[in-house]
């Protein structure tokens, strides 16, 4: 039997915790002993308006179950104020769950500047501002856990969500680098890709699955990723309906497009190699930017020194 994962003494900020997934995360952190900052702007689904109600209701829920929580009504665009709420009320910050989100779905030609900017500001800039404000505290105490929230709309695309897809994939890039920069100070950053019933998805998800996609089934995954004993860092974790799995990018073995370093590359060369370029049957995961560019440099050196004059599939597999 594994011991209970507790968060006593830990201070957790959950943004957009007044509803849906954020509420489920906040309630579970509260149950596990964390002091929780329940942030929510309390606006509409498309980013309009604001209210204190959403955050207050969840704070009362946590307190009525014996937990510790305070409300914060700032927009994540003012993330430093949210972290300030944590410091003023609880004296520290250990975990930031970047969850707040809105939608402004339109097919691509109809996206206005406002539709674009608001989505980037809430999802991407909000994640940047809130996380950056917590970062020095994480560094000083040699501990921090960060969650950023992506979406299958970002990983795979989804009709009518170009602005949202762009923002959701942008936070994956942010997380990749934060995981690298934070590693030496025990600051871990992971991406959650949820699918859950909420006001954001009530008209998107198939009605027959809606009741099964409870946010409470994803909360344990997020809470585990934020625990001090969890070593996961820099990962993308998809979760829904009591299931979780890890995603990552892969690259095909690829193909050299020329035989000698002195050869140029024509579009016709590319066309003739295209099957090999796009053959994913032996695709590999590259663990780092060094691995990706290092393999490329080695192959280039070989090409220069003439070792690679007839690059067949196997040689290329080795090098790339
Ligand atoms: P929700 O609409 O139920 O909850 C989002 C909360 O964020 C709301 O309470 C809202 O008031 C708050 N919020 C919005 N803008 C804010 C701002 N500027 N500052 C502070 N709070 C703000 O939505 P749901 O479904 O719980 O979504 C949570 C996150 O998960 C979002 O980032 C969403 O994009 C993401 N997501 C959700 C999926 C799902 O299936 N529900 C799928 C993929 C991603």
Among the three residues 188, 212, 246, which one is the final residue of a domain in this structure?
A: 246
Output the residue whose Cα is nearest ligand 1's atom 34.
101
Q: Which two tokens stand for residue 81?
A: 């104020």
Buried b (16+ CB within 10 A) or exposed e, 201-238: beeebeeeeeeebbbebbbbbbbebbbeeeeebbbbbb
* Domain of 209, in residue numbers: 11-246
Ligand 1 nearest atom to the CA of residue 168, by list position: 34
Adjacent-strand bridge partners of 96: 13, 146
Q: Atom 29 of ligand 1 has which residue's CA nearest to it? A: 99
Q: Which residue puts its alpha carbon closest to atom 3 of ligand 1?
A: 20
Q: What is the pLDDT of residue 95?
A: 99
pTM of the model: 0.94
pLDDT in tens, 108-157: 999 999 999 999 999 999 999 999 999 999 999 999 999 999 999 999 99
| Cβ 72 vs Cβ 85: under 8 Å | yes
User: What interface predicted TM-score (ipTM) does this complex get?
Assistant: 0.99
158 lines ligand 1 (CB under 6 A): no
Are 301 and 217 in the same domain?
no
Q: Are 241 and 220 in contact (CB under 8 A)?
A: no
Cα 275 to ligand 1 centre (Å)? 41
Q: Are residues 115 and 239 in the same domain?
A: yes
Q: Kindly state whether residue 88 falls inside one of the protein's structural domains.
A: yes
Judge if the beta carbon of residue 40 lies within 6 A of ligand 1: yes
Distance 295 CA to ligand 1 centre (A): 40
Where in the sequence numbering do the catalytic residues fall? 164
Nearest CA to ligand 1 atom 40: 195
Does residue 229 sit in the same domain as residue 287?
A: no
Given ligand 1 and candidates 13, 15, 16, which is best to mutate, with the most ligand atoms within 8 Å of its CB? 16
What distance lies between CA 254 and its chain's CA centroid? 28
Closest protein CA for atom 41 of ligand 1: 196
Q: Based on the domain organization, do 308 and 179 belong to the same domain?
A: no
Q: How many domains does the chain have?
A: 2
CB atoms within 10 A of CB 252: 16
Tell me if 1 is assigned to some domain.
no
At 102, list the tokens: 């809105």
pLDDT of residue 307: 63
Alpha-carbon span 241 to 213, nearest angstrom: 5
Token pair for 92: 């520290």
CATH code of 181's domain:
3.40.50.720
Answer whether 149 contacts ligand 1 (Cβ < 6 A): yes
The residue whose CB lies within 8 Å of the most ligand 1 atoms, and thus the one to mutate among 200, 202, 215, is 200
Domain stops at, among 216, 246, 276: 246
At residue 169, what are phi and psi to the nearest 5 degrees? -80, -30
Q: How far is C-alpha 241 from the geometric centre of its chain's CA atoms?
A: 19
* CB 144 within 8 Å of CB 137: yes
pLDDT of residue 318: 38
Residues 192 and 285 in one domain: no
The residues of the chain scoring below 70 in pLDDT are: 1, 307-320
Do both 241 and 272 map to the same domain?
no
Same domain, 186 and 311: no
Distance of alpha carbon 162 from alpha carbon 198, whole angstroms: 20
Phi-psi sector, 142: left (phi>0), alpha (psi -120 to 50), beta? left
Q: Note the pLDDT tens digit of each residue in 212-248.
A: 999 999 999 999 999 999 999 999 999 999 999 999 9
Contact indicator for 237, 190 with CB cutoff of 8 Å: yes
CB 100 within 8 A of CB 40: yes
Please work out whether the CB of residue 102 comes within 6 Å of at least one atom of ligand 1. Answer: yes
2 belongs to a structural domain = no
Indicate whether 214 and 93 sit together in one domain: yes
Residues 96 and 203 in one domain: yes
Q: Residue written as tokens 């196997």?
A: 314
Distance 225 CA to ligand 1 centre (A): 19
Residue 314 has a pLDDT of 36
Strands 236-240 and 187-195: parallel
């Amino acid at each position: 039997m594994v011991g209970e994962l507790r968060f006593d003494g830990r201070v957790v900020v959950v943004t957009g915790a007044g509803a849906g997934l954020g509420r489920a995360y906040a309630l579970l952190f509260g149950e596990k002993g964390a002091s929780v900052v329940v942030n929510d702007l309390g606006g509409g689904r498309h980013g309009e308006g604001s209210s204190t109600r959403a955050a207050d209701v969840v704070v009362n829920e946590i307190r009525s179950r014996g937990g510790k929580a305070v409300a914060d009504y700032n927009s994540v665009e003012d993330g430093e104020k949210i972290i300030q709420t944590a410091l003023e009320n609880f004296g520290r910050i250990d975990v930031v769950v970047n969850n707040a989100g809105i939608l402004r779905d339109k097919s691509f030609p109809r996206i206005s500047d406002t539709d674009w900017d608001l989505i980037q500001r809430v999802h991407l800039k909000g994640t940047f501002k809130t996380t950056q404000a917590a970062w020095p505290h994480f560094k000083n105490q040699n501990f921090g856990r960060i969650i950023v929230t992506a979406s299958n709309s970002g990983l795979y695309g989804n009709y009518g969500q170009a602005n949202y897809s762009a923002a959701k994939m942008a936070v994956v890039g942010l997380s990749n680098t934060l995981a690298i920069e934070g590693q030496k100070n025990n600051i871990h950053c992971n991406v959650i890709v949820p699918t859950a019933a909420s006001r954001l998805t009530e008209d998107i998800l198939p009605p027959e699955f809606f009741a099964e996609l409870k946010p409470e089934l994803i909360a344990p995954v997020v809470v585990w990723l934020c625990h001090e004993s969890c070593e996961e860092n820099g990962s993308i974790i998809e979760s829904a309906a009591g299931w979780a799995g890890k995603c990552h990018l892969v690259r095909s073995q690829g193909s050299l497009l020329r035989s000698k370093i002195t050869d140029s590359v024509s579009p016709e060369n590319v066309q003739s190699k295209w099957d090999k370029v796009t053959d994913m049957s032996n695709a590999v995961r590259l663990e780092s930017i060094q691995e990706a560019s290092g393999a490329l440099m080695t192959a280039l050196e070989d090409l220069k020194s003439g070792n690679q004059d007839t690059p067949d599939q196997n040689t290329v597999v080795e090098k790339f």
